[in-house]
Amino acid sequence: MTATAWQPDGLGPNLVVHADNSEFLPTLPDGAFTMIYVDPPFNTGRVQSRQQTTTVRNADGGGDRVGFGGRSYDTIKGALHSYDDAFTDYWSFLEPRLAEAWRLLAEDGTLYLHLDYREVHYAKVMLDAIFGRECFLNEIIWAYDYGARAKSRWPAKHDNILVYVKNPKKYHFDSAEVDREPYMAPGLVTAEKRERGKLPTDVWWHTIVSPTGKEKTGYPTQKPEGLLRRAVTASSREGDWVLDFFAGSGTLGAVAAKLGRRFVCVDQNPQAIDIMATRLGHVATVVGRPAAGPVETPVVEPVETPAVELVETPAPLFDS
Ligand SMILES: C[S@@+](CC[C@H](N)C(=O)[O-])C[C@H]1O[C@@H](n2cnc3c(N)ncnc32)[C@H](O)[C@@H]1O
């Protein structure tokens, strides 16, 4: 990918860019985007090398745990070192990219960072440092309902989306544009209110991308358009530029095009670029697409939860 002379003015084309975002983002001008949505790969290294704890019998009773039958044990922490390494690597990967997101946001701009419950607390601390605590707007919970249910703890059925604004005095947020939800107890409100529905809160119930629906692209980590539609309508206006630099199947671009926003979608995975070329090629210029060559083994990101199995009817309050 060569540096572009891309400017967010005039009627420049929407872009789908094949590049490592750490190389491409520095070519973009400051303050160019009203909204940035990113859904980075999860910290899979960390998940894969969990801390291993082994206990051994302490003969003289001086250990730090008391086990079954009152016996005393020492605790040996096994793979903590590699756990720490993976963790550090992940955050040193993400942090400079989030700092770029801050630079690229306009004064009235907003960042949506999509993570899961294992990462979100660390990311909150990191974004507080990059943006400032006063720039934290929301933590959105995307609640869904599919797959098996753990019996040994509360089954985790949500993702977390952190929302930060560049300037808490100037940010754009238009709740009047956002789709509304049905009241839970419609009998308790007037017909007029029932008809209008109510404003969504920070908990968004939404089905996953249906394995048989028309939205499905085949990309393993594809997110539903309904989620992104809410974020884009609230945090940008028609004609504004929006950016996703972990774009995958290009869900942000698809929503932006339908809502009259202009977009830049970046991904380093050739399969993602192929899918985006099909999904967005009619409304965007595709830059740096690798020439068709020998078929490579597809790079499929590990997914920590089954992304396509609906085992029971979810209870969404709205559908995409
Ligand atoms: C979780 S997926 C995004 C899915 C997307 N939200 C969608 O709806 O399809 C994360 C994406 O980040 C991309 N990615 C990872 N590291 C990258 C990098 N350094 N530069 C650009 N893209 C990267 C991966 O190829 C993957 O497509």
Query: Does the Cβ of 160 fall within 6 Å of ligand 1?
Result: no
Mutate to test the pocket of ligand 1, among 210, 244, 246 (most ligand atoms within 8 A of CB): 246
Calculate how far, in angstroms, residue 85's C-alpha sits from the geometric centre of ligand 1.
Answer: 22
Residue range 243-277, pLDDT digits in tens: 999 999 999 999 999 999 999 999 999 999 999 99
pLDDT value at position 319?
A: 36
Can you give the three-state secondary structure of the chain, one letter per residue?
CCCCCCCCCCCCCEEEEECCHHHHHHHCCCCCEEEEEECCCCCHHHHHCCCCEEEEECCCCCCCEECHHHCEEEEEECCHHHHHHHHHHHHHHHHHHHHHHHHHEEEEEEEEEEECCCCHHHHHHHHHHHHCHHHEEEEEEEECCCCCCCCCCCCCCEEEEEEEECCCCCCCCCHHHCCCECCCCHHHCCHHHHHHCECCCCEEECCCCCCCCCCCCCCCCCCCHHHHHHHHHHHCCCCCEEEECCCCCCHHHHHHHHCCCEEEEEECCHHHHHHHHHHHCCCEEEECCCCCCCCCCCCCCCCCCCCCCCCCCCCCCCCC
Mutate to test the pocket of ligand 1, among 20, 100, 221, 245 (most ligand atoms within 8 A of CB): 221
Given the CA of residue 22, which atom of ligand 1 is nearest to it? 19
**By mean pLDDT, which of 68-72, 105-109, 213-217, 306-310 is the weakest?**
306-310
Query: Does the Cβ of 159 fall within 6 Å of ligand 1?
Result: no
User: Could you tell me what percent of the chain has a pLDDT over 90?
Assistant: 62
Calculate how far, in angstroms, residue 88's C-alpha sits from the geometric centre of ligand 1.
Answer: 19
Calculate how far, in angstroms, residue 250's C-alpha sits from the geometric centre of ligand 1.
Answer: 9
Residue range 176-190, pLDDT digits in tens: 999 999 998 898 999
**Is residue 17 scored above 70 in pLDDT?**
yes
* Domains in the chain: ranges and CATH: 31-46+91-244 (3.40.50.150)
Residue range 124-142, pLDDT digits in tens: 999 999 999 999 999 999 9
Per the model's pLDDT, the better-predicted residue between 130 and 61 turns out to be 130
